[in-house]
Amino acid sequence: MQMFVHLLLISCIFALATPAGAAEKNRTFRTWLAELRAEARTAGISQQTIDKALATVWTPRNQVIRLDRNQPEFKQSLKAYVANRINDRRVANGRTMLRRYPTWLGRVEQRYGVQRRFILALWGIETGYGENSGNFPVIRSLVTLAYDSRRSDYFRGELIEALRILDAGQVRLARMKGSWAGAMGQCQFMPSAFRDFAVDADHSGRIDIWGSIPDVLGSIANYLSRSGWKDDQTWGREVKLPKGFDFSVVGLETRLPLSRWQALGVRRSNGRTLPRREIEASLILPDGPKGPAYLVYDNFRVLRRWNRSNAFAVAVGTLADRLAAP
């Protein structure tokens, strides 16, 4: 009987404490949100935009936190990551886009100095050429991630930039949707990338990376160009290593000319000699010594500026190669 009473008391205490804890958490979030509103107003964003954007944001979104903690770039092997993103359908659709938009691809290729296969590969990897741009309300996702402690400063800045985009009338709030992380539109730009790199390629008077194909293609090309893209080079290539290879030279920190890699016994994946160009390359082994090896060039580093993941950059480069193949 005494044990029963003891357990009953614990249950009552827990039942009373849980709503109180939830209420305290809600009060903390409301306080944080009020501070954010004040910061946005100080940043020059209109009160009307702030009120409208945050009107239905009552709590953080737990699904966003779960997705943030389980990003595939850092959970999957390179082989699985690439296989999940590159298949015959995606290659075929990319070649269809090559045929469908030759004029716009030609214009942005010429203006920005970025080969069209890489523009399409990024578009394809990010959203399947616009088929899946994400359906998460960007503002609530960014509020959630800014309130979370893992990268709060970064996402708070992105949230302010997103509010600026709304305030400028670049997109309606209902249309401002994207990934769980707040990446927007068909090219999945974070708000700061939108600010720095998005372009009005079709001269409509506003930048529309949600619905304008010229704006999507031009924005991707502008990002790569301003990040240091070299249009006379590719991204890299898969290679074979000799037995007894010295793995101390593996990593993006080491840059050697192709002639030096050739002397170290590195060969193309088909066994042929490396190109006879004196460009510097780094050797990476994303899955370790038993996985595939890649020699990567400066353009690989540019792709990593878009997404700081070796797996992502290899996937984009691999798709670009397949789009260019006969």
DSSP string computed for 120-179: HHHHHHHHTTTT----EEHHHHHHHHHHSSSSHHHHHHHHHHHHHHHHTTSS-GGG-EE-
Band (73; pLDDT cuts 50, 70, 90): low
The pLDDT > 70 percentage for the chain reads 90
Note the pLDDT tens digit of each residue in 209-227. Answer: 999 999 999 999 999 999 9
Above 50 in pLDDT, residue 8? no
The pLDDT of residue 17 is above 70: no
- Residue 27, pLDDT above cutoff 90: no
Question: How many residues comprise the chain?
Answer: 326
Q: Is the pLDDT of residue 237 over 70?
A: yes
CA 30 centroid distance within chain: 30
Structure letter (DSSP) for residue 289: T
Tell me the range of 3-17, 18-32, 297-311 where mean pLDDT is highest.
Answer: 297-311
Residues 294 and 241 in one domain: yes
Q: pLDDT value at position 204?
A: 94
Domain holding 316: CATH number?
A: 1.10.530.10
Collapsed DSSP state (helix, strand, coil) of residue 47? helix
How far apart (Å, rounded) are the C-alpha atoms in residues 65 and 172? Answer: 25
Query: What integer pLDDT is reported at residue 72 of this predicted model?
Result: 67
- Same domain (yes/no): 284, 240: yes
Mean pLDDT of 38-67: 93
State whether 97 and 124 are in the same domain. Answer: yes
The verdict on residue 314 lying in a domain is yes
Nearest to 156 by CA among 144, 146, 167: 146
Residue 57 lies in a domain: no
Summarize pLDDT for 238-273 with one digit per residue, the tens: 999 999 999 999 999 999 999 999 999 999 999 999
The SS3 assignment for 98 reads helix
Residue range 111-136: average pLDDT? 97
CB 269 within 8 A of CB 295: no
**Does 32 score more than 80 pLDDT?**
yes
Residues 59/29, Cβ–Cβ less than 8 Å: yes
Same domain, residue pair 220 and 128: yes
Average pLDDT of 163-176?
95
240, 282: one domain: yes
| Mean pLDDT computed over 126-146 | 95
Residues 214 and 281 in one domain: no
Task: Judge whether residue 120 has pLDDT over 80.
Answer: yes
φ/ψ bin of 307: left (φ > 0), alpha (ψ from -120 to 50), beta (otherwise)? beta
**Residue span of the structural domain in which 211 resides:** 77-134+196-226
Give the chain's domain count.
Answer: 2
Q: Which one of 226, 245, 272 terminates a domain?
A: 226
For tokens 């890699």, what's the residue?
261
With cut-offs at 50, 70 and 90, classify the pLDDT of residue 71: confident
In angstroms, rounded to a whole number, what is the distance separating the alpha carbons of residues 39 and 41?
5
Query: Same domain for 293 and 219?
Result: no
220 with 257, same domain: the answer is no
Mean pLDDT over 183-188 rounds to 96
pTM of the model: 0.88
Mean residue pLDDT across the chain: 91
- Both 213 and 241 in a single domain? no
Residue 255 and residue 206 share a domain: no
Residues 286, 208 within the same domain: no
Please report which confidence band the pLDDT of residue 22 belongs to, taking 50, 70 and 90 as the band edges: very low
- pLDDT: which is higher, 152 or 42: 42
129 plus 252 within the same structural domain: no
Any domain includes 277: yes
User: Are β-strands 293-296 and 280-284 bridged in parallel, bridged antiparallel, or unpaired?
Assistant: antiparallel
pLDDT for 83-97, tens place per residue?
999 999 999 999 999
Q: 101 CB contacts (<8 Å, ≥6 apart)? A: 213, 217
CA pseudo-torsion sign 3, 9, 15, 20 = negative
Whether 250 maps to a domain, the answer reads yes
Say what the alpha-carbon torsion angle 178, 184, 185, 186 is, to the nearest 10 degrees.
-90
Give the pairing type, strands 267-268 and 280-284.
Answer: unpaired
Check whether 74 has a pLDDT greater than 90: no
Beta bridge pairs of residue 296: 236, 282
Residue 208 has pLDDT above 50, yes or no: yes
**218 found inside a domain:** yes
Mean pLDDT of 136-141: 95
Whether residue 325 is predicted with pLDDT greater than 90 in this model: the reply is no
- Which of 29, 36, 28, 27 has its CA nearest to residue 60? 29
- pLDDT > 80? residue 205: yes
CB-based burial, 50-69: b 16+ in 10 Å, e otherwise: beebbeebeebbeebbebbe
Sign of CA dihedral 39, 41, 47, 50: negative
